[in-house]
Each structure stands twice: as C-alpha cells, then as structure tokens.
Structure 1
Amino acid sequence: MFHAAHASRRAAALDTGEPETAPATPRATTPASAAGGRNSPSPPGREPSGETGRDPFFDNAKYLAIVLVAVAHAWEPVMDGSRAARALYMIVYTFHMPAFILVSGYFSRSYQGRPRQLRRLLTGIALPYAVFEVAYSLFARWSGHNPDQPVTLLDPYYLTWFLAALFVWRLTTPLWRIVRRPLPVALAIAVAAALTPGIGADLNLQRVLQFLPFFVLGLALGPEHFQMVRRPEVRLMSLPLLAATAALAYWAAPRVGLDWFFRSSSIQEIGVPWWQGVAMVLGLFGAAVVLTAVFLAWVPARRTWMTSLGAGTICGYLLHGFLAKAGDWLGFFDANPWLGGPVGLVVLSAGMAVAVTLLCTPPVRRLLRPVTEPELRWAFRRDVSDLRPGDR
C-alpha cells in the first residue's frame, strides 16, 4: 500500500480507471468523491479507508468481484456434469464483469483526454495489456495447449480482452459526456453489434461493443445511486429476488447456451432468430443491472479485512488466469474428477478464492508495479499544462 497521499490517489486510479485530475464539478460528482479520495465526502454509513483516504465500499466491491471472476473461471473445466454448478456459473457470469465494468465507468467520469490522463491510460492499461497478452500467448505455447498460438496484440487472448476494452471505452468517454441519451445509444450499439457476425476478432470488438452499455451506465451514475442500493429495504427485497434467480438459472442451465453470457458471439453465430436474440441481449442487460445492484447492496461499506486487497485487484485479475489455465491445460482437472462433485466444487472454490486473495496482497502488487503501475516519465514529453505551479 502507498502511504503518501499522491501515491494513494494514483493507485486508486490505476485499479478503477479514475483519472488523476479533473475540472471543478459539483460536489456530488467530484473526482475525489468518485475515488473516495482524501477530500471526498463520505456517504452515511461509510468511512474513509484509513490514511489512504480510499472509499472502502469500492475496494470491498472490487475484491469481492475479482473473487467471483476467479472462482467462475475455476468452475469452467469441471461444471459440465453438474446442473447446479452450471446454474451458479450462469448467475455469476450474468453480473460479475458488468459490475466490474460499471465501477470502471463510474471512476472514468472525469476523463477528458488531457495529457496526464492519456499517459496514465498508456501506462496503466495499454502496457499491462501488451505484457500479459504476450505472457498468456507464450504460456499457451509452453504448456502444449496450443504450440502454434500466435503472439499478437490485435486479438486479445483469454482475460486480457478486458484491458483492451477498457482502453477503448475510456477513449470514448468524452463522446458520451455530450450525447443527450447515452445509455439508449450504447444499448443500440450493443444490439447492432450482436446482429453483426462479421465484426471479427480484432481487439475482441464484439465484446467491447456488447459490454459497452455497462461502462456508459457507470459514467451516468453518481454517489447517490450507490447510497440508494445500500438501503436496508433493498437488501430485504434482494432475498426473494435471489431465490427466484437461482430457480430460474437451475431451470435454464440445460436449455440456455453459455455464449450469451460471454458476449463474444453474434446472434447469427449462436443460431437463434434475430428477434429472439435482441430480446435476449436486452433481457441479459436488465438482469445484469439488477443483480449488480443486489451484489452492491451486500458489499460492506466500512473498512474490513478485504479493503486493502481491493487496491490490488488488477494483480489478482491478471495473474489468476495462469492458475486456472494451468490446471486445465496440464491435466489437473482431468486427473481429479471428484472436483466436479459438490464437495469438490466447494474445495475448488475455496482454493481459488484463497489464491486470488494472495495475488491481491501488497507484496504481489509491489512486485508487479513496474508493469501495472509504472511511471515511465522518460517515455513522455513534459507538457506545460501538466506542470504544478511550483515547477514553472
């Protein structure tokens, strides 16, 4: 963890996509408020996270979301024999990445493409994408899974697609600030993408466009919306909703293909009529928003043992994929079929949760800092508009 105020703000930005500076805005939407910074007003029932001034609610949410991402990845090789596991997988995949993307959009509200923000975009997103895209491609070759796996930055491999998508979404942020009805426009783009089978694999554009509405929704949210889902009545209403969701997912598990949840295929490629596909795309968006609200309703608002781990979720996200793929490609799951049973799924889930927790710890974060949080001052011109008054 950083102890200096400037360093803590920088870490918050890298983990969630918050630009480092922003113009003066109303109190409810200041960048400091968005980041839970030192000068941000703390909503009722929420306290600043120690000396760093980070908002513990968002760090807790990021940590819990990355645990769900990692556990769901661990289920993939063993869930085919279990209807219950497939149903849980569908529930988690409905909202875990939308929640992550929505929070990323929320922390991108002050992005305006200024030189300092562009440098942060290159060092905090583009560089990690390039490094881990190469690393995962070489790992696929080394493991023997795909000896001919090409090393290219144009076709994101496995989980690196999110960094490529975040790079594109962030660049479009100023456009969404001037659109009168940004969310309906983003939904229209997502539906149009789902109806276009020829988009291709470059930058995984199909996913970039289909997940776009969640980023745009995050841009439109304010602190008051996150306070709203923290109300006791929302938690109370979420219980029967979760029960109904579980029942629906169990019914749908053998009937609904998983491609809908990955959002990397067009409606034509999935093989359903266009009108049914459009209804599915819009229905999944609504379900993802509702389940994201339910998820956020149960996120602790105060500082807990997981709060400090929320600052290292970028490390947990980028590294846990090596564990999941190694277990699959090197035959660990095939050699242990018991992992597909109820006890095995619990053990596997707990093991992956512990692993990703360790990957989010400060020592790992410090180790990866040259890749995930580099300064690279030598690589950029020093723009006069970014100088502090004392430097002139």
Structure 2
Amino acid sequence: MSVQTASAPAATAPPGRPARRQPLFDNAKFAAVALVVCAHTWMPLLAEDRTIAAAVLTIAAFSMPVFITLCGWFARPGPGRPQVDGARLISQLVVPYLVFQVLYNLVGMVLEKRLAPIALLEPRWLTWFLLSLLVWRLSVPLWTALRHPLAVAVLVSAGSGAMAAFPEELALGRTLGFLPWFVLGLVLRPDHLALLRRPAVRRGAPLALAAVFAAVWLAAPKLLNPGWVEYTQSAAELHVGYPVWVGVRLALAALSLVAGAAFLALLPEGRTRWTALGGASLYVYLLHGLPLKLVQASGIYHARTLHHWYTALPLLGACALTLAVLLATPAAVRFFGPLVQPRLDGLLLRPRSAEPVHPDGQP
C-alpha cells in the first residue's frame, strides 16, 4: 500500500519495488510503544504517589490509542490490497498469538507456582492486543461499508459498559473499548494529519500535554483503578453507575485525543537515530512483558527509593526506554524473529513477501 505522510505525497517507487517507508510513522510507532513500556513499568507504583499516578495514567491514556490508531491507518484498503488478507493475518497475528499465549501462560505458572489449563481464547498479559487486532482487522469491510463508521464504533464502545462484566474471551472489554481508535485510523486522511504539522499546532502541543497532565493529576485519586484507562472493566465492575462510566470514559477519550494529537505533532517528520526501531515495534510490545514480570516477582518495587516520583519516574523510565531500544535492535529481531514473525511459507497458499511486514500493515 502506498503510504502518505501528513504533509507530502508518498514517495513513488519503480514497478516491482515497495514504496519507501515514511519516517514519521516509524517515529510514531517506536515512540508510542516505548511509552507503553514506560507505563507498564511504572504501573505497579500507581497508588504510591499522586504524581506517579498522573504520569502513568496520562501516558496510558494516549500511548496505546495512538499505537492502535496507527494500526487502523495501515489497515485501510487500497489499490491492489484486499480488505482482509487471510495469509497475512495468519502469519502476523494468529500464529504469534498462539505462540505468546502459550509462552505467557507457562511463565505465569512458574511465577505463580501452580498449574492451570491454557485457555487459548482468554488472552494472557499482553497477548490481548494480537487477538483484538485480529478482530478489528477482520471487521474492516464492515467499517468501510458504513457512512459514519466512527460514530457507530463510539456507540458500540459506549454501549459495552452496560454489560454486567466483560468476559475474558477475545479480550472483549479491550476489543470493544479500543475499537473507536482503530476505526479512527481507518477514516483519517493525510490532510487530517497535515493539521498536526502546522507551526502553530506544534508550538501549542507542549501546553496541550501539560494541560492533560494537570487534568489527570486532579482526577488521579478517582482513577487509581487501571480498568479506567486499560478498558478492562464495565460500569458494574468499577462499582459506578452506567451514566458515570460513560461520562468518565468520554472525558478520558477527549483527553486521550488531545494528548495523542499533541504527541504526534511533536514528533520529527524526518529520519532520526531511532526511526529504524519503529519497524520492530511489535517485538518491543510482545517481548517486554517477560522481563517486567520477572522484575515484579523479584520484589524490587518494594524498595523505598521507588516510592517517590522524583526517583521512581526517572530511574524506572530510563530502564524502560533502554529495554525498548534493546528489543528493537536488529540483533533482537533476528533472535526473536521465529517467535514474533514465524515463517509459514510451506503452510500458506500465497508465499510471504521477502520484505518483513508488521501487523500494522507497513513493511
């Protein structure tokens, strides 16, 4: 698929050659997934300090939505590209999901020191994203057929909160909760993104992020349940009335939209030292959960030093960013490639392209 940046047409390529990658999107993918790692690293300290809580909740509120919106952007149908590519979904989502679902369940049994059956349709830890993305990608023909797909997706997401509880199967809470962000990526156009590259918008982006952080800081004591920003619990599970649940979710969505737009506006459009790491964003996402679980099991979060925002945020943040960079290096991609991108040429009717392709659709 030919991809366009926010300000210029996508580079054309000679026949038979793939279109040139656009640095802005790789910059956005790596920056977003690196912030996801930071949020997950800080999350165990959510209730320790109000500033830590505000930082965790602010980043969690927009980093995953941005990442999912980018997935929707690259899932848009285009000339010569089917709306649903079965071979690609099997190789990029289904098989990696099964591999990591089994892996995370086995690691969980070891850490919890108990045996438990492996339920393949009940995602463990980070695998929910692959299963949800599979559902979203399969539903693309539905959204492209609707006149107002984003409005319908918002209604579906809002209506899900009326359920007594979200079942574990298919990560239903997150699948429905994050659905509008995926559909947002489907309906966005280059001229929409071009607005974020305007000088006035870029100058105002830091103020917008600061305002979102201030709003979250004020509301932090009421949002300490991660279910609010992780989209894992219905109104009944959060012990609030349905109108309150809808109101809070809509407010958080508005803050997420403002913060996500400001985040994208601040990113460089050209190549940087970390642009190439964006192509391995899925490696970072799927693999960072294992070391984090081991660190949590070690008891390091009980250290008194980590109970203050001025030590916990920079120390753990530096470790998280280092981990994100290491997992995106070419050496890590080669080593973990059989897990994240297993080759299935002998099992699929259509051979895989020689160019590695990631679940967001961009090579």
TM-score, reference length from structure 1 = 0.82
Q: What is the identity, as a one-letter code, of the residue corresponding to 1:330?
A: S
The secondary structure found in structure 2 opposite 1:162 is helix
Go from structure 1 to structure 2 and tell me whether the alpha carbon gap of 1:115 and 1:40 turns closer, same or farther (over 3 Å shift): closer
Structure 1: tracts of 5 or more residues without a match: 1-30, 43-50, 387-392
The residue identity in structure 2 corresponding to 1:95 is F
Structure 1 residue 255, shift from structure 2 partner:
2.3
In the TM superposition, what are the counterparts of 1:215-234 in structure 2 within 5 Å? Answer: 215-234=182-201
What displacement does 1:233 show? 0.7
Shift of the alpha carbon at 1:380?
2.1
Report what 2:2 is aligned to.
32
Match of residue 307 from structure 1: 275
Give the aligned CA root-mean-square deviation in angstroms.
2.3
Higher RCO (C-alpha 8 Å, min separation 6): 2
Kindly state the Cα deviation for residue 282 of structure 1 after the two structures are TM-superposed: 1.9
Q: Post-superposition shift, 1:258?
A: 2.9
In 2, the alpha carbon distance for the partners of 1:305 and 1:382 equals 35
* Structure-1 residue corresponding to 2:118: 151
1:63 aligns with 2:30: yes
Q: Is the 8 A contact 2:29 2:67 kept in 1?
A: yes
Aligned residue among 337, 352, 356 for 2:324? 356
**CA distance in structure 2 between the aligned counterparts of 1:349 and 1:306, rounded to whole angstroms:** 17
Query: 2:132, 2:175 within 8 Å by CA — same for their partners in 1?
Result: yes
Give the C-alpha shift of residue 199 in structure 1: 4.0
SS class of match (1:268): coil
- 1:73 correspondence with 2:40: yes
Paired residues of 1:165 and 1:208 also in contact (CA < 8 A): yes
Q: 1:382 to 1:243 in 2, by over 3 A?
A: closer
Distance (Å, rounded) in 1 between the aligned partners of 2:101 and 2:266: 34
Structure 2: stretches of 5+ with no match in the other structure: 13-17, 354-363
Matches within 5 A, 1:347-386: 347-382=315-350
Q: Structure 1 residues 148 and 330 mapped into 2: Cα distance closer, same or farther (>3 Å)?
A: farther
Take 1:116 and 1:68, find their aligned partners in 2: how far apart are those partners?
Answer: 30
CA-CA distance at 1:344 after TM superposition: 3.3
SS at match of 2:288: helix
Pairs within 5 Å for 1:255-334: 255-256=222-223, 257-334=225-302
Contact kept? 1:189, 1:209, Cα under 8 Å? yes
Q: Which piece of structure 1 moves more, 57-66 or 370-379?
A: 370-379
User: How much has 1:246 moved relative to structure 2?
Assistant: 2.1
2:157–2:180 CA contact under 8 A, matched in 1: yes
**Using a 3 Å threshold, how does the CA distance of structure 1 residues 75 and 363 change in structure 2: closer, same or farther?**
same
1:160 equivalent in structure 2: 127
Sequence identity (%): 35
Range that drifts further, 265-274 or 370-379: 370-379
Question: For residues 340-381 of structure 1, what are the alpha-carbon distances to aligned partners after superposition, in whole Å with 9 as ceiling and x for unaligned?
Answer: 322233111101111111101111112222232333121123
Whether the 8 Å contact between 1:182 and 1:216 is mirrored in structure 2 is: yes
What TM-score, normalized to structure 2? 0.88
Is this contact kept in 2: 1:35–1:54, CA < 8 A?
no
Report the count of equivalent residues. Answer: 342
Question: 1:6 is matched with which residue?
Answer: none
Distance (Å, rounded) in 1 between the aligned partners of 2:104 and 2:5: 31
1:104 aligned partner, one-letter code: C
- The residue that corresponds to 1:88 in the other structure is 55
The 1-side partners of 2:161 and 2:241 are apart by 12
Aligned equivalents of 1:277, 1:116: Cα separation in 2 = 34
Confirm or deny: 8 A CA contact 1:33 1:223 kept in the other structure: no
The equivalent of 2:150 in structure 1 is 183
SS of the residue 2:77 aligns to: coil
Distance 2:183 2:83 in 1: 22
Q: For residues 80 and 340 of structure 1, what CA distance do their matches in structure 2 show?
A: 9
Contact 2:212 2:255 in 1 (8 A): no
